[in-house]
Amino acid sequence: MVAEDDEKQAELVRRYLEREGHAVTLVRDGRAAIESVRHRAPDLLVLDVMMPRADGLDVLRVLRAEARELPVLMLTARSTEDDLLLGLDLGADDYMTKPYNPRELMARVRTLLRRTRLSGGVGPAAAALPVGTLVVDPDRHEVTVDGGHIDCTPGEFRILAAMAAEPDRVFTRQRLLEELHGFDRYISNRTVDVHIMNLRKKIEQAPRSPARLLTVFGVGYKLTDPARSATRASS
């Protein structure tokens, strides 16, 4: 689905997507985007920020509040870092600023769809990844803590799955950025900090004093089992 009120931009994106074999639905305002996602359940949403009747950020707020996990690639003429981080904070998976190269946009779309399909259970089932009472299930694309389900955006899930596969390993911000987007000239290392902050709100009992998702100052972050860490500290 492409939500873009600029007719020329929308048609350009549609032609490129259809050339790669995708079925495309076009909508021209924010409210139409929300209703269309609810009824059509697209595989991916290309979402412009500046739209009538509800801008792209409001659309994203509504969809994530409804726990809809579809990948979202945002397009905007705004280029400040604060705007980029706000979109990611709300749950966008990738972000491109206008003007953009349509071929690069298609590469971003392919990457998001490929990662979503891999995490959604296409191919051999992947083993669940327990780190104490936190369990990441790549095959089901689910995260649980103490048996309770945690809703994660695709970007948050990719970070958590990478870290759960190697508990106690320290991941640099650059390494986590590679899990998210590969090389990306538009987004800074602060992107990772935003995702980590959001994950702590979801998996930690006290997000400001995290016990699972720890900062290793001057290096990056690591995911650990709080019970095992406590046992090592007392021994």
Q: 185: pLDDT confidence band, cut at 50, 70 and 90?
A: very low
pLDDT average, residue stretch 180-187: 52
Q: What is the pLDDT of residue 232?
A: 58
pLDDT (0 to 100) of residue 112: 82
Of the candidate ranges 11-20, 59-68, 70-79, 80-89, the one whose mean pLDDT is the lowest? 80-89
Return the domain boundaries, the chain: 2-119, 129-234
| Topology given in CATH for the domain delimited by 2-119 | Rossmann fold (3.40.50)
For the chain, percent of residues with pLDDT exceeding 90: 46
On the question of pLDDT at 197 being above 80, the answer is yes
The answer to whether the predicted template modeling score (pTM) of the entire model surpasses 0.85 is: no
Q: What is the mean pLDDT of residues 88-108?
A: 85
The pLDDT tens digits for 15-66 are 999 988 899 999 999 999 999 999 988 999 999 998 999 999 999 999 988 8
Residue-wise pLDDT for 114-152, tens only, equals: 766 655 543 344 578 899 999 998 877 889 999 999 988
Q: Tell the CATH topology of 129-234.
A: Arc Repressor Mutant, subunit A (1.10.10)
The three-state DSSP-derived secondary structure of the chain is CEECCCHHHHHHHHHHHHHCCCCCCEECCHHHHHHHHHHHCCCCEEEECCCCCCCHHHHHHHHHHCCCCCCEEEEECCCCHHHHHHHHHCCCCEEEECCCCHHHHHHHHHHHHHHHHHHCCCCCCCCCEEECCEEEECCCCEEEECCEEECCCHHHHHHHHHHHHCCCCCEEHHHHHHHHCCCCCCCCCHHHHHHHHHHHHHHCCCCCCCCCEEEECCCEEEECCHHHHHHHHHC
Mean pLDDT along residues 160-177: 89
| pLDDT at residue 152 in the model | 87
164 pLDDT higher than 70? yes
Using the predicted structure, report yes or no on whether residue 110 has a pLDDT greater than 90. Answer: no
What mean pLDDT is predicted for residues 7-12?
92
Q: Which of 38, 99, 105 is nearest to 70 (CA)?
A: 38
Query: Average model confidence (pLDDT) for the chain?
Result: 84
